[in-house]
């Protein structure tokens, strides 16, 4: 073997990358026979700094699938773009004075350069960043379609507020009472906010999980997040005040065991109820304190159960018993009706509260094992009423609900943990919400012809409790599109998860300047056949994207209602068993490996490192091993003689590269020269 025939990835890879760029090898047209199209997609990157090992793994995996699929004769759409809006670029701007536009453009440049250097087979003609006005024009257009249909709405709400990022957070972005991004403890604030009505889709988001091939644990996380609970609404009446208070319970079979009643501190009637009683001051103090605490913290099971008496009673509808009313922070306003019947014999939190406040604890379900209270399991009713005692609780559940229904004191009811999606952010670097506030006309949508509402350039990005955009007076002041009087633009921007909720649709028709996409075109590619990304998106992004697809489906804009037919969640690449992170100083970047060994070695190694859905530990020896393997493979191929006869051109032009240059393999020597012998 002559010296110039040695395996030289730098030369080989550069040569082929030039061929692919010149030939536009991986570009696909929108005129393909829909029966032959396949859409392979990896989650789009958030462009910050330069790509890391997780990106290499993600795109190497997707590229393997894309290449394989092309070889089966399919026409494969394999695009790339950037999720470019978001807090980090803005925080970076505050720290360094570099405008987000500039830092984002630089990161995108470096991501693109690396992806090309890795040789990922991307159709670059469809590339975009979600921060480009030609993209977010349509994000705004879609938002207005949602607004028209009542799916986007504005209301005052108790929201999660991150004091360091000075913005609200979606429930999904609060983890253990802290900001998912910066880790600060989250506070509660009352603010006017924009929401998307994802709760309208709760049932479909649950039911349609059977239609898609996703990892079971991801489906489970979505099911739990949506949190559908079947139960009943039961009315408890406060005679003194002449007011009915419904509660939501999943255990109407335990109604005879309700020994007290608890309201959430934010419940609008709490102060009214306590007014004039000896408890008034104590209640006010308690409520004020509770309001500053996060829901996650308040709801947690192991926290001491605090609360104070309201000095009033309600009547239990099944037995006419008067039970005392309390306010306690373990009851949340936003779930059910914001009030509960407390059954300390069978509910753990009620049990803890009853012990702390010396309230009666009653057994109404027998434990076949004879265990202690609280008992959450099944069994026959006891200590309830003659009609029900001895009846198995599941059956009693139905009979009690029927009875309540007949008496007009309740009915069966379903509750969801899922809340509407809070999409407004008091931050600069995001898609402006295309709404104008007019003193006379109220909330007025920006006319379609005036889209996009372009994000203005700012000098000062520092968040001040309201959006930095509020300071851009020239931009804020507009005429009302309805009446022509002076009005003001909405200054909040959209959550970045809005941007990434529909980018996969835009790839199908990225150049369209008349519409976000053409329906026939999108229908010819979608749904995505194989979606690949990190499991950290199991709830947020994947749930939002499913909701978005269903909403545009119902608007008649697409002909399918699930975006991702198959999902693959990749594991992390770790180092010495722990996650790579800047703070641990254990980050290794793909760049040096690609430079030293070639992209093929780096890509093969991350595929070889272990089952791709599991975490795997990086090893430099492993990289060396893969490099030796590729060198051997190269030498072996060098011993085979090229021939020009008799190879059929594949019908699929994307069976390109190798197959387009007919080579017939002829063995000079039938024995393997590698290690297998
Ligand atoms: C009486 C009862 C008895 C309950 C029992 C449970 C067990 P999931 O399953 O999550 O839907 N609850 C209702 N609204 C609440 C609120 N706003 N804040 C805190 N807790 C609330 O939970 C439903 C149960 O959580 C309801 O059923 C209610 O307590 C409580 F042996 O009612 B249950
Ligand atoms: Zn007006």
What is the average pLDDT score of the chain?
91
Query: Residue of the nearest CA to atom 12 in ligand 1?
Result: 340
What was the pLDDT predicted at 101? 94
- pLDDT above 90 covers a percentage of the chain that reads 78
Measured distance CA(51)–CA(46) in Å, rounded: 9
Instruction: Single out the residue of 592, 568, 588 nearest to residue 579, CA to CA.
Output: 588
* Boundary residue ending a domain (397, 415, 433): 415
Q: Does residue 646 have a pLDDT over 60? A: no
* Cβ atoms 77, 40 nearer than 8 A: yes
Asked if 77 and 506 count as a contact pair (C-beta separation under 8 A), the reply is no
Q: What is the mean pLDDT of residues 25-39?
A: 96
**Which range (430-444, 544-558, 606-620, 628-642) has the least confidence?**
628-642
Whether the predicted pLDDT of 659 surpasses 70: no
| Average pLDDT rounded to a whole number, residues 637-662 | 52
**Dihedral, 608, 611, 614, 616 alpha carbons, nearest 10:** -30
Centroid of ligand 2 to alpha carbon of 149 (angstroms): 21
| Strands annotated E in 43-107 | 75-77, 81-82
Condensed to tens digits (0 to 9), the pLDDT of residues 357-378 reads 999 999 999 999 999 999 999 9
In this predicted model, what pLDDT tens digit does every residue of 220-229 receive, in sequence order? Answer: 999 999 999 9
| 525 plus 376 within the same structural domain | no
Beta bridge partners of 616: 573
379 and 324 within one domain: yes
What pLDDT, on the 0 to 100 scale, is given for residue 109?
97
Please give the distance, rounded to the nearest whole angstrom, from the Cα atom of residue 429 to the centre of ligand 2.
Answer: 28
Cβ–Cβ under 8 Å, residues 90 and 100: yes
Q: What confidence tens digit (pLDDT) does each residue in 485-536 have?
A: 999 999 999 999 999 999 999 999 999 999 999 999 999 999 999 999 998 8
How far the first Cα of the chain sits from its last, in Å, is 20
Is the pLDDT score of 610 beyond 50? yes
Query: Which range (257-261, 368-372, 585-589) has the least confidence?
Result: 585-589
Nearest CA to ligand 1 atom 1: 249
Question: Which range is least confidently modeled, 101-115, 304-318, 324-338, 649-663?
Answer: 649-663
| Residue 642 lies inside a defined structural domain of this protein | no
Please tell me whether residues 172 and 242 are part of one structural domain.
no
Q: Give the C-alpha separation, 41 to 59, whole Å.
A: 9
> How many angstroms separate the most distant Cα atoms in the chain?
101
* DSSP-derived 3-state class of residue 134: helix
Spatial neighbors of 502 by CB under 8 A, at least 6 apart, are 138, 139, 142, 516, 545, 548, 552
Q: Residue 60 above 90 pLDDT?
A: yes
How far is the centre of ligand 1, averaged over its atoms, from the C-alpha of 434 (Å)?
39
Please indicate, yes or no, whether residues 246 and 391 belong to a single structural domain of this protein.
yes
**Residue 342, in any domain of the structure:** yes
> Under DSSP, is residue 561 helix (H, G, I), strand (E, B) or coil?
coil
Crossing angle (nearest 10°) for helices 100-118 and 599-608: 90
Q: Tokens for 473?
A: 């007076």
Query: Burial code of 413-439, b = ≥16 C-beta within 10 A, e = fewer?
Result: bebbebebbbbbbbbbbbbbbbbbbbe
Alpha carbon of 443 to ligand 2 centroid (Å): 9
Total domains in the chain come to: 3
Does residue 539 share a domain with residue 427? no
Radius of gyration in angstroms for the set of CA atoms belonging to the chain, rounded to a whole number: 30
Same domain, 319 and 447: no
pLDDT at 648: 40
At residue 649 the predicted structure's pLDDT band, cuts being 50, 70 and 90, is very low
Atom of ligand 1 nearest to the CA of 335: 17
| C-alpha to C-alpha distance for 353 and 376, rounded to whole angstroms | 16
**CA distance linking residue 320 with residue 549, whole number of Å:** 49
Ligand 1 centroid–CA 602 distance in Å is: 52
CA distance 63 to 213: 20
| pLDDT of amino acid 389 | 97
> Mapping DSSP to helix (H, G, I), strand (E, B) and coil, where does residue 387 land?
coil
pLDDT tens for 75-96 read 999 999 999 998 878 888 888 8
Give residues whose Cβ lies within 5 Å of ion ligand 2: 438, 440-441, 480, 482-483
**Does 313 fall in a domain?**
yes
Write down the pLDDT at residue 662: 40
Say whether both 460 and 546 belong to one domain. no
- The answer to whether 493 and 432 are in contact (CB under 8 A) is yes
387 alpha carbon to ligand 1 midpoint, in Å?
Answer: 25
Average pLDDT over residues 196-203: 98
Same domain, 329 and 182: no
Residue identifier of the C-alpha nearest atom 32 of ligand 1: 249
Asked if the structure places residue 664 within a domain, the reply is no
Whether residue 295 sits in one domain with residue 189: no
User: Does residue 372 sit within a domain?
Assistant: yes
Under a CB-based contact definition with an 8 Å cutoff, are residues 424 and 494 in contact? yes
Predicted pLDDT at 4:
56
> 627: pLDDT confidence band, cut at 50, 70 and 90?
very high
* Cα–Cα distance, 74 to 33 (Å, whole number): 10
At CA 107, angle to CA 104 and CA 112, rounded to 5? Answer: 125
Out of 131-135, 228-232, 582-586, which region has the weakest mean confidence (pLDDT)? 582-586
Question: Could you tell me the CATH number of the domain that includes residue 240?
Answer: 3.90.740.10
**Hey, what are 62's tokens?**
């997707």
Is position 88 within any domain?
yes
- Is the domain of 305 the same as that of 328? yes
Minimum CA distance residue for ligand 1 atom 26: 249
Confirm whether 675 is domain-assigned. no
- For residue 523, how far is its CA from the centre of ligand 1 (angstroms)? 43
Question: What is the C-alpha to C-alpha distance for residues 120 and 79, in angstroms, rounded to an integer?
Answer: 10
Q: How many residues in the chain?
A: 677
The dihedral of CA 455, 458, 461, 464: what is its sign?
A: negative
Same domain for 296 and 371, yes or no, is yes
Is pLDDT of 436 > 60?
Answer: yes
Give the C-alpha separation, 353 to 178, whole Å: 26
**Of the residues 415, 442, 461, the one at which a domain ends:** 415
463 pLDDT above the threshold of 50: yes
Q: Which ligand is nearest to the CA of 441?
A: 2
CATH number of the domain to which 537 belongs: 3.40.50.620
CA dihedral 654, 23, 125, 104 (to 10 degrees): 120
Q: 150 φ, ψ to 5°?
A: 75, 10
pLDDT band, residue 582 (cuts 50/70/90): confident
pLDDT higher than 80, residue 292 = no
**Atom in ligand 1 nearest the alpha carbon of residue 345:** 31
Q: Show the domain range for 381.
A: 229-415
Q: How is residue 31 written in tokens?
A: 């005129």
- Dihedral of the alpha carbons of 484, 489, 495, 500, in degrees to the nearest 10: 50
What pLDDT is stored for residue 652 in this prediction?
A: 43
The larger pLDDT score, comparing residue 32 to residue 190, is at 32
For ligand 1, which residues put their CB under 6 angstroms from it?
Answer: 229, 248-251, 254, 264, 331-332, 335-336, 338, 340-341, 343, 346-347, 415
**What local confidence, expressed as pLDDT, does residue 642 receive?**
64
Cα separations (Å) of 252 from 286, 299, 335, 351, 363?
A: 29, 21, 17, 17, 14
The pair of structure tokens assigned to 531 is: 């979606």
Q: What is the pLDDT of residue 672?
A: 36
Nearest by Cα to 558 from 516, 587, 510? 516
399 class by beta-carbon count within 10 Å (0-12 exposed, 13-18 middle, 19+ buried): middle
In a domain, 658, yes or no: no
74, 568 in Cβ contact below 8 A? no
Mean pLDDT of 230-237: 98
C-beta atoms surrounding 640 within 10 Å: 14
* Nearest ligand, measured from the Cα of 365: 1
Cα 482 to averaged position of ligand 2 atoms, centre (Å): 5
Looking from the CA of residue 415, the nearest atom of ligand 1 is: 11
Mutate to test the pocket of ligand 1, among 246, 250, 316, 327 (most ligand atoms within 8 A of CB): 250
- Kindly indicate the confidence band of residue 641, based on its pLDDT and cuts at 50, 70 and 90: low
**Strand blocks (E) in 480-529:** 486-489, 493-494
State the distance from the centre of ligand 1 to the C-alpha of 250, rounded, in angstroms.
6
> Are 284 and 411 in a shared domain?
yes
In sequence order, the β-bridge partners of residue 415 are 229
Q: Point out the least confidently predicted range of 307-321, 636-650, 652-666.
A: 652-666
Among candidate residues 461, 477, 497, the one where a domain is terminated: 497
Task: Give the pLDDT of residue 191.
Answer: 84
Q: Contact, 128 vs 135, CB < 8 A?
A: yes
Return d(Cα 391, Cα 176) in angstroms, integer.
Answer: 40
Q: Which of 264, 314, 347 to mutate to test the pocket of ligand 1 (most atoms within 8 A of CB)?
A: 347
**Number of other residues whose CB lies within 10 A of the CB of residue 257:** 28
b/e code 138-168 from CB counts within 10 Å (16+ = b): bbbbbbbbbbeeebbebeebbbbbbeebbbb
């Amino acid at each position: 073997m002559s010296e110039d025939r040695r395996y030289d990835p730098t030369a080989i890879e550069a040569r082929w990358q030039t061929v692919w760029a010149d030939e536009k090898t991986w570009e696909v047209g929108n005129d393909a026979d829909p029966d032959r199209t396949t859409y392979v997609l990896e989650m789009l990157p958030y462009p910050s700094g330069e790509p890391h090992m997780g990106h290499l793994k993600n795109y190497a995996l997707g590229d393997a699938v894309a290449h394989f699929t092309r070889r089966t004769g399919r026409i494969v759409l394999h695009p790339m773009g950037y999720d470019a809006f978001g807090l980090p670029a803005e925080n970076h701007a505050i720290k360094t004075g570099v405008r987000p536009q500039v830092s984002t453009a630089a990161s995108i440049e470096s991501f693109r350069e690396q992806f090309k250097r890795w040789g990922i087979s991307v159709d670059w003609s469809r590339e975009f960043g979600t921060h480009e006005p030609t993209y977010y024009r349509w994000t705004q257009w879609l938002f207005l379609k949602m607004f028209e249909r009542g799916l986007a709405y504005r209301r005052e709400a108790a929201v999660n507020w991150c004091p360091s990022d000075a913005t609200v957070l979606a429930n999904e972005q609060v983890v253990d009472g802290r900001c998912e991004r910066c880790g600060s403890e989250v506070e509660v604030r009352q603010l006017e906010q924009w929401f998307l009505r994802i709760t309208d889709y709760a049932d479909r988001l649950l039911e349609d999980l059977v239609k898609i091939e996703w990892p079971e644990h991801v489906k489970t996380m979505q099911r739990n997040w949506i949190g559908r609970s079947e139960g009943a609404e039961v009315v408890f009446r406060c005679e003194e005040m002449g007011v009915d208070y419904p509660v939501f319970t999943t255990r109407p079979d335990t109604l005879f065991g309700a020994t007290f009643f608890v309201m959430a501190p934010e419940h609008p009637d709490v102060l009214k109820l306590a007014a004039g009683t000896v408890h008034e001051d104590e209640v006010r103090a308690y409520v004020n304190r509770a309001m500053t605490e996060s829901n996650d913290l308040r709801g947690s099971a192991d926290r001491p159960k605090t609360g104070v008496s309201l000095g009033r009673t309600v009547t239990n509808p099944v037995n006419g018993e008067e039970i005392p009313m309390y306010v306690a922070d373990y009851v949340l306003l936003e779930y059910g009706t914001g009030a509960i019947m407390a059954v300390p014999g069978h509910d753990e939190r009620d049990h803890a509260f009853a012990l702390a406040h010396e309230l009666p604890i009653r057994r109404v379900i027998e434990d076949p094992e004879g265990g202690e209270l609280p008992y959450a399991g099944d069994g026959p009713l006891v200590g309830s009423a003659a009609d029900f005692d001895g009846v198995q609780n599941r059956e009693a559940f139905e009979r009690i609900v029927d009875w309540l229904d007949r008496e007009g004191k309740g009915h069966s009811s379903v509750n969801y943990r899922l809340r509407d999606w809070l999409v407004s952010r008091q931050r600069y670097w995001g898609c402006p919400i295309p709404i104008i506030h007019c003193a006379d006309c109220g909330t007025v949508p920006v006319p379609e012809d005036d889209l996009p509402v372009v994000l203005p350039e700012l000098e000062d990005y520092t968040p001040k409790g309201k959006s930095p955009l509020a300071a851009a007076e020239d931009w804020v002041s507009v005429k009302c599109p309805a009446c022509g009087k002076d009005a003001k633009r909405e200054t909040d921007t959209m959550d970045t998860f809005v941007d990434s909720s529909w980018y996969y649709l835009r790839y199908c028709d990225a150049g369209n300047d008349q519409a976000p996409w053409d329906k026939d075109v999108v229908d010819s590619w979608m749904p995505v056949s194989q979606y690949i990304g990190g499991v950290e998106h199991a709830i947020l992004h994947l749930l939002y994207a499913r909701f978005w697809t269903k909403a545009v489906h119902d608007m008649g804009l697409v002909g399918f209602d699930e975006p991702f037919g198959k999902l693959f969640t990749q594991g992390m690449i770790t180092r010495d068993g722990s996650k790579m992170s800047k703070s641990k100083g254990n980050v290794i970047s793909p760049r040096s490996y690609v430079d030293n060994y070639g992209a093929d070695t780096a890509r093969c190694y991350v595929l070889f490192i272990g089952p791709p859905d599991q975490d795997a530990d990086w090893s430099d020896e492993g990289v060396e091993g893969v490099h030796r393997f590729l060198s051997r493979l190269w030498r072996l191929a060098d011993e085979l003689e090229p021939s020009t006869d008799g190879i059929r051109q594949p019908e699929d032009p994307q069976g390109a590269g190798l197959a387009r240059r007919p080579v017939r393999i002829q063995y000079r020597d039938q024995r393997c020269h590698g290690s297998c012998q």
